[in-house]
Amino acid sequence: MYSIDLNSDMGESFGAYKIGGDEEIIKYVTTANVACGWHAGDPMVMDKVVRMAKERGVMVGAHPGYPDMMGFGRRKMVLSHDEIKNYVRYQIGALAAFTKSYGMKLQHVAPHGAMGNACQYDEDIASAIVEAICEYDKDLIVYYCAGAVLGDIAESKGLRTASEIFADRAYMDDLSLVPRKMEGAMITDEDIAIQRCVKMIKEGKVTSITGKELDIKGDTLCVHGDGPKALAFVQKIREKFTEEGIEIRHL
C-alpha cells in the first residue's frame, strides 16, 4: 500500500490582512505548515489555525521564516548561523505554545521562503536549523525538499525527516526545483501534474526538465489553498490518488 501526506502552508494572514483560504484547504490536507509571526501570521491567526487543525485531526508544523513581514520572508537575508538557529528556535516555541494549549504535539518544522530555499543547499544554514530543532525537541520531523542537503543533515543528527515533493513544479537534474523564471518551471497541465505525483510516489521516479529519469522520494506533497482553482486541483489529486491506491494520511 502506498501513502502520502498532503501539506499546505497556512496561517499566513496578518491582522486585517488575509492570505489564503485556510478554512477551505484544511478540509483536504493532512498537515499544516503554520507561519509563526515573522514573515506572516500573528498570534490570533496562529490560534485560529491550530484550533481548526485540532478539530479536523490535521497535524501542525512550524513554518519559520526571516524577520521580513514586508517581503513575506521571500527576500534573501544574510544572517549568521546563530541568528538563524535562534530565530528558528523562537518561532518553533511560539507556535508550540498554541499546539500545547490545544493538547496537540507540534509535529514538524518546514522552513519558509528564502530561508526555506537557502537551507536546502546551504549546509551551514541547514545545520543551524537542525541544531535548533535537536536542542528543542528531537521528536520533531524535518520537512525538506526531496534530494536536498537539509534532509541529509537532519538525518545525520538522528532526526526524522519527510521528503517533500511538488505537483506543479519541474525538477532540474540535481532534483532542485526549476527556478520560477525559467520556461517550463511550472507543470500547468493538471493531469500531467497528477501523473507525475503518482509516479513519484509509486515508482520513486521523476523526469527532469532535461528528460532524465531521476530517483526521488516523496513522503509529503505540497498543495496550495489560494483560490477556487487551487482547491479544485487538491480535490482532483485526492480522487486520483484514491483511484491509484495511494492512501492520503499524515506521517
Binding site for its own copies (CB under 8 A): 14-19, 37, 40, 42-44, 46-47, 67-72, 74-79, 82-83, 86-87, 89-98, 100-102, 114, 132, 135-137
Select 111 or 147, whichever has its Cβ closest to its own copies. 111
Give the C-alpha separation, 106 to 93, whole Å. 10
For the bound state, the minimum distance from the C-beta of residue 71 to its own copies, rounded and expressed in Å, comes to 6
Select 66 or 241, whichever has its Cβ closest to its own copies. 66
CA distances from 84 to 77, 91, 132, 142, 176 (A): 10, 11, 9, 16, 22
For the bound state, the minimum distance from the C-beta of residue 127 to its own copies, rounded and expressed in Å, comes to 15
For the bound state, the minimum distance from the C-beta of residue 112 to its own copies, rounded and expressed in Å, comes to 12
Select 122 or 137, whichever has its Cβ closest to its own copies. 137
Select 137 or 190, whichever has its Cβ closest to its own copies. 137
Is 97 strand, coil or helix? helix
CA distances from 249 to 5, 6, 181 (A): 5, 7, 33
For the bound state, the minimum distance from the C-beta of residue 117 to its own copies, rounded and expressed in Å, comes to 11
For the bound state, the minimum distance from the C-beta of residue 114 to its own copies, rounded and expressed in Å, comes to 8
Select 30 or 91, whichever has its Cβ closest to its own copies. 91
Give the long-range contacts of residues 42-46, CB within 8 A, separation 24 or more: 42/13, 42/14, 42/15, 43/94, 43/98, 44/15, 45/11, 45/12, 45/13, 45/14, 46/11, 46/94, 46/95, 46/98
